């Protein structure tokens, strides 16, 4: 049993379509719609390339049959190839007409900007594709898809299976797991709440699948007549990219090749002047993309030049192609309780994530105005500021993705509380009983916000207090304690009308490294006795 295999280019385009469709379910923004428009443009370019390839394959089959000893014996192969081309063109053309209706519903193309006039239009798209009584164009496509696959199977090798072109949500491995999508049919799944740009991309994706099926069958037919040895009379250079829009830091992949090439050609190819590895007549372009120069939608337009040198009937010939692509600015989120300010000399723990990069997310960090300590898990980093501002440099696989600058706060002073024998805070208004107050303890309480975000740095203790018994203008006696303790020696002399003067002389803080520092502190509390 034979099955169809997607090329790397087709896999990349399919992945982009799924990612953008998922994002569409969350939010429709101008930037997202533009990315759908770019995706549709990429699909249409790929479909045109597939069309040219299919035409060349049928021509090659025809030329090869002419060179065979008994051409009549292979007439059925050529007949099948032409029929495959005919039914494919008919279905692709029908979808193209539907795309025209969709575009017309959005007001067409603005001649000044070249963009869709109303890219967010959804209601008219729903009416065209789904319809109130489920009589829309999407439902009309289903029997056309089924007939096409049935006819294509007749021309294909025995056992060849073609995946359905009109999957319902229950048949889709991704949508079937979503409770909100699981009961939708093909039309509802693809065109409900769908703006124009997304609808066009969806239809172009279907055209791409159809062209892929066509190519598979034509390859099978070409193999029956040894069409690999065919010499074509028209040769031209072509560049085929996996995608025209990539995320900065991700790998850009493309192929530069001679269209309709044969084994008789030994082309030399280059990328921006550097030689390329040529495999089966196709130059392998692979380079790390760089960002910068992004527009308001986070896209940077880039170009490169590919050259192909080959021997033509007229002699040596070199063709150069300038290829345009777009770099999508990668997005990442920084999670921290102290954002947008960090605390000086403290462990400010941040989590940096990038959903767009997925498995390619492997960040590293440096800091200006502080120290960046990598965490044990991917995307975790601890910043220890040493200046009034600190800038975090976010890198991924050696590519700088962005810089984030934070304000730096000084550590807030703790609150001092003086408690007595009962554990309650001493009352400096109504006073305390002279006979019963025989124990005092001074506590340093960290700022609530600071303690919540930097618990490892919010460890305080009062290291020294002085408790003095005063009567009138005279100082009767005093005692020094390590933060708290018994004052029985003073209580034995205390009388109603006296007062305790409690002075905090030392406060210490232990930071995340275990280092203890002394904080300059001045605090006095007077407690009347009664």
Same domain as 30, residue 127: yes
Give the number of domains in the chain. Answer: 4
Burial 429-462 (b: 16+ CB within 10 A, else e): eebbebeebebbbbbbebbeebbebbeebbbbbb
Under DSSP, is residue 328 helix (H, G, I), strand (E, B) or coil? Answer: strand
**Burial class for 254, CB neighbours closer than 10 Å (0-12, 13-18, 19+):** buried
Angle 196-224/8-26 helices, nearest 10 degrees?
A: 160
Residue whose pair of structure tokens reads 């200006």 in the numeric block: 368
To the question of pTM greater than 0.75 for the whole model, the response is no
CA distance 59 to 82: 10
Give the model's pLDDT for residue 313. 43
Same domain as 302, residue 204: no
Same domain as 217, residue 253: no
Q: Output the CA torsion sign for 344, 349, 355, 356.
A: positive
Q: Which long-range contacts (CB under 8 A, 24 or more apart) does 420-425 make?
A: none
Can you give the pLDDT of all 530 residues of the chain as single tens digits?
455 555 555 555 455 544 444 444 444 456 666 777 777 888 888 889 889 999 999 998 898 888 887 888 889 999 999 999 999 999 999 999 999 999 898 888 888 877 888 888 888 989 999 988 888 999 999 999 999 999 999 999 999 999 999 999 898 888 788 888 888 999 998 888 888 988 898 999 999 999 999 999 999 998 888 754 444 545 667 676 665 666 666 677 777 766 665 544 557 888 888 888 887 777 888 887 776 777 877 778 888 899 988 655 444 578 888 888 877 777 777 875 445 689 999 999 999 988 777 778 889 999 999 999 999 899 999 999 999 999 999 988 777 888 889 999 999 999 999 999 888 999 999 999 998 899 999 999 999 999 998 999 999 999 999 999 999 999 999 999 999 999 999 999 999 999 999 999 999 999 999 999 998 888 999 999 99
Give the model's pLDDT for residue 339. 58
Residue that terminates a domain, selected from 287, 313, 329: 329
SS3 per residue for 254-316: EEEEEECCCCCCCCEEEECCEECCEECCEEEEEEECCCCCCCCCCEEEEEEEEEEEEEECCEE
Instruction: Give the chain's radius of gyration (CA, Å).
Output: 37
Same domain as 169, residue 42: yes
Give the model's pLDDT for residue 517. 92
Same domain as 307, residue 191: no
Q: How far does CA 277 lie from the centroid of its chain?
A: 31
Strands 315-328 and 245-247 come out as parallel
User: Could you tell me which of 189, 201, 203 has the C-alpha nearest to residue 119?
Assistant: 201
**Phi, psi dihedral angles at 343 (to 5 degrees):** -105, 135
User: Could you tell me which of 226, 188, 222 has the C-alpha nearest to residue 53?
Assistant: 222
CA distance 134 to 141: 12
DSSP state of 130: T
Burial 67-88 (b: 16+ CB within 10 A, else e): eeeeeeebeebbebbeebbebb
Residue that terminates a domain, selected from 394, 409, 424: 409
Do the beta carbons of residue 351 and residue 379 sit within 8 Å? yes
User: Could you tell me which of 487, 338, 464 has the C-alpha nearest to residue 408?
Assistant: 338
Same domain as 81, residue 26: yes
Give the model's pLDDT for residue 212. 94
Listed in sequence order, the residues at least 6 apart from 501 whose beta carbon sits closer than 8 Å to its beta carbon are: 467, 468, 470, 524, 525, 526
Do the beta carbons of residue 260 and residue 294 sit within 8 Å? no
Give the model's pLDDT for residue 67. 80
CA distance 166 to 379: 40
Same domain as 257, residue 338: no
CA distance 27 to 38: 18
Same domain as 290, residue 371: no
Same domain as 424, residue 387: no
Listed in sequence order, the residues at least 6 apart from 147 whose beta carbon sits closer than 8 Å to its beta carbon are: none
CA distance 108 to 101: 9
Domain range for residue 343? Answer: 333-409
Do the beta carbons of residue 203 and residue 43 sit within 8 Å? no
**Burial class for 488, CB neighbours closer than 10 Å (0-12, 13-18, 19+):** exposed
Give the model's pLDDT for residue 314. 43
CA distances from 172 to 8, 126, 305 (A): 21, 21, 40
Q: Count of CB atoms within 10 A of residue 294's CB?
A: 15
**Order of strands across the sheet with 333-335?**
333-335, 348-353, 380-385, 370-374
Same domain as 472, residue 361: no
CATH code for the domain of 387: 2.60.40.10
Same domain as 131, residue 239: no
Same domain as 272, residue 144: no
Residue that terminates a domain, selected from 180, 215, 230: 230
Beta bridge partners of 469: 477, 500
């Amino acid at each position: 049993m034979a099955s169809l295999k997607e090329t790397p280019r087709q896999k990349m385009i399919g992945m982009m379509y799924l990612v953008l469709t998922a994002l569409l379910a969350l939010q429709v923004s101008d930037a997202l719609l533009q990315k759908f428009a770019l995706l549709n443009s990429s699909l249409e370019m790929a479909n045109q390339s597939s069309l040219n390839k299919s035409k060349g394959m049928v021509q090659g089959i025809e030329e090869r049959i002419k060179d065979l000893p008994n051409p009549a014996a292979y007439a059925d192969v050529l007949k099948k190839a032409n029929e495959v081309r005919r039914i494919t063109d008919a279905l692709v053309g029908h979808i193209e007409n539907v795309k025209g209706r969709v575009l017309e519903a959005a007001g067409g193309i603005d001649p000044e900007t070249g963009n869709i006039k109303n890219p967010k239009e959804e209601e008219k798209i729903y009416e065209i594709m789904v319809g109130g009584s489920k009589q829309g164009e999407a439902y009309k496509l289903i029997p056309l898809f089924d007939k096409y696959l049935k006819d294509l199977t007749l021309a294909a090798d025995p056992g060849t299976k073609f995946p359905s072109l009109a999957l319902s949500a229950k048949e889709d491995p991704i949508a079937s797991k979503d409770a909100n999508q699981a009961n939708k049919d093909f039309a509802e799944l693809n065109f409900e709440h769908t703006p124009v740009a997304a609808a066009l991309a969806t239809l172009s994706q279907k055209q791409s699948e159809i062209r892929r099926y066509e190519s598979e069958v034509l390859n099978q037919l070409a193999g029956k007549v040894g069409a690999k040895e065919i010499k074509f009379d028209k040769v031209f250079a072509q560049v085929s990219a996996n995608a025209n829009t990539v995320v900065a830091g991700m790998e850009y992949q493309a192929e530069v090749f001679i269209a309709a090439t044969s084994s008789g050609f030994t082309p030399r190819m280059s990328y921006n002047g550097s030689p390329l590895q040529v495999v089966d007549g196709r130059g392998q372009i692979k380079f790390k993309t760089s960002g910068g120069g992004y527009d308001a939608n986070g896209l940077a337009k880039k170009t490169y030049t590919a050259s192909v040198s080959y021997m033509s009937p007229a002699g040596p010939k070199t063709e150069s192609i300038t290829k345009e692509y777009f770099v999508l600015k990668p997005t990442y989120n920084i999670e921290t309780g102290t954002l947008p300010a960090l605390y000086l000399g403290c462990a400010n723990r941040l989590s940096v994530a990038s959903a767009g990069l997925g498995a390619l997310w492997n960040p590293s960090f440096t800091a200006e105005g502080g120290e960046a300590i990598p965490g044990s898990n991917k995307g975790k980093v601890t910043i220890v500021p040493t200046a009034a501002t600190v800038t975090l440099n976010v890198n991924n696989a050696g590519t700088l993705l962005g810089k984030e600058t934070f304000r730096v706060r000084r550590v807030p002073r703790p609150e001092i509380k003086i408690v007595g024998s009962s554990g309650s805070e001493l009352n400096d208004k109504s006073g305390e009983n002279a006979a019963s107050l025989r124990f005092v303890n001074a506590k340093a309480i960290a700022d609530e916000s600071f303690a919540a975000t930097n618990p490892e740095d919010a460890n305080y203790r009062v290291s020294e207090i002085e408790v003095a018994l005063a009567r009138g203008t005279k100082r009767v006696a005093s005692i020094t304690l390590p933060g708290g303790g018994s004052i029985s020696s003073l209580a034995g002399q205390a009388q109603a009308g006296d007062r305790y003067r409690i002075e905090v002389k030392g406060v210490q803080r232990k930071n995340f490294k275990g280092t203890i520092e002394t904080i300059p502190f001045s605090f006095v509390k007077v407690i009347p006795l009664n």
